[in-house]
Amino acid sequence: MSAATPTASPLAVTIVMVEDDEGHARLIEKNLKRAGVFNEVKHFRDGTSALDFLVGAGRAEHRPLLVLLDLNLPDMSGFDILAKLKADPQLRAAPVIVLTTTDDEREIRRGYELGCSVYITKPVNYETFAQAVRQLGLFLAVIQVPPTP
């Protein structure tokens, strides 16, 4: 589900969201907008199509990217995608925000070891979830994403 916004400039950060759960994706988008984040969001429902877009053959020159990554995907683990992103010279510097249902510290540690920037647990309580996404929006607003060469 992509939503190009009128305010997105050619050099603005594109958000790549890899999330198999439609509901989660919709909630993330809505809350991002509420938090004032209007960047373009490219939504992929599985790991294969996301990897195809990100590191597949014949990919376009990427504008600055930010990846929102769910770990629980039907066809692969989000960690696989994370590892491939961090192994790619062009995308290595792109920030990756891992969003998942678990707060298992071993998974969190593994996520950071593989190079994710932020690890956010999807909360059930709506308030905390909205707050988390809003913080994510603020994070996106202040982060200096180096333009990819």
| Span from 36-44, 50-58, 119-127, 141-149 in contact with other proteins (CB under 8 A) | 119-127
Instruction: Pick out residues in 55-94 that bind other proteins (CB under 8 A).
Output: 71-72, 77-79
Give the nearer residue to other proteins in terms of CB position, either 106 or 146: 106
Which of 8, 75, 67 minimizes the C-alpha distance to 38?
Answer: 8
40 binds other proteins (CB under 8 A): no
| In the complex, minimum distance from the CB of residue 148 to other proteins, in angstroms, rounded to a whole number | 28
Q: Which two tokens stand for residue 32?
A: 């991002």
Output the smallest distance, CB 90 to other proteins, in A: 26
Residue ranges in 88-143 assigned as alpha helix (H): 105-114, 126-142
3-state secondary structure of 79: helix
The rounded distance, in Å, linking the Cα atoms of 36 and 8 is 12
Of 104, 132, 107, nearest in space to 120 by CA: 132
Least CB distance from residue 131 to other proteins, whole Å?
A: 12
Q: Which residues are CB-neighbours of 4 under 8 A, at least 6 positions away?
A: 40
Cβ 130 to other proteins, closest distance in Å? Answer: 7
- Smallest separation (angstroms) from other proteins to the CB of 101: 4
Q: Of 88-117, which residues contact other proteins (CB under 8 A)? A: 100-102, 104, 106-107, 110
> Pairing between strand 96-100 and 41-44?
unpaired
Choose among 80, 67, 43: nearest CA to 148: 67
Q: Which is nearer to other proteins, 13 or 32 (CB)?
A: 32
- Contacts with other proteins by CB under 8 A lie at 21, 23-24, 27, 30, 71-72, 77-79, 100-102, 104, 106-107, 110, 122-127, 129-130
